[in-house]
């Protein structure tokens, strides 16, 4: 699929990235460069890798970039759980993001299994 913007996995990933920036706005000011940076980098990586993978000529190549997206989604989940455990950021946004990240992980795994067929 060359038009990655039509993929639900890309759309969900894009929304997750936007929500991540909203979340870190509610972090304490002293926490603006370490965990915040990790969260936004992992979140942006999810739709970015899906988009880059869509340019590959083989499904194997596309799958590899989807694996990177999935890895970033698990990384982001871990970072959000850390933020949750130390009560950083808006609790409602964190909870929604964790739910969306979990859904994105399932969607990516399903998409990847279809690429392999």
16 domain residue, yes or no: yes
29 domain residue, yes or no: no
Q: What is the residue range of 48's domain? A: 4-23+34-116
What integer is the mean pLDDT of 66-95?
96
28 domain residue, yes or no: no
85 domain residue, yes or no: yes
The predicted model scores a pTM of 0.93
CA-to-CA distance for 51 and 81, rounded, in angstroms? 26
Question: How many separate domains does the chain show?
Answer: 1
Query: Which domain CATH number covers 52?
Result: 1.20.1440.60
pLDDT given for residue 60 in this prediction: 87
Q: Are 66 and 112 in contact (CB under 8 A)?
A: yes
Per-residue pLDDT tens digits for 25-73: 999 888 777 899 999 999 999 999 999 998 887 888 899 999 999 999 9
Q: For residue 117, is pLDDT > 80? A: no
12 domain residue, yes or no: yes
pLDDT given for residue 57 in this prediction: 78
76 domain residue, yes or no: yes
Radius of gyration of the chain (CA): 14
107 domain residue, yes or no: yes
Q: How many CB atoms lie within 10 A of CB 8?
A: 10
């Amino acid at each position: 699929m060359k038009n990655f913007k039509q993929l639900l996995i890309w759309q969900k990933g894009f929304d997750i990235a936007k929500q991540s920036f909203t979340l870190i706005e509610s972090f304490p000011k002293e926490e603006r460069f370490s965990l915040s940076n990790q969260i936004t980098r992992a979140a942006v990586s999810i739709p970015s890798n899906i988009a880059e993978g869509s340019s590959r000529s083989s499904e194997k190549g596309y799958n590899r970039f989807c694996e990177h997206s999935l890895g970033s989604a698990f990384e982001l989940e871990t970072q959000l759980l850390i933020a949750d455990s130390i009560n950083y950021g808006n609790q409602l946004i964190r909870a929604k993001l964790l739910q969306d990240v979990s859904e994105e992980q399932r969607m990516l795994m399903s998409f990847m299994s279809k690429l392999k067929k």
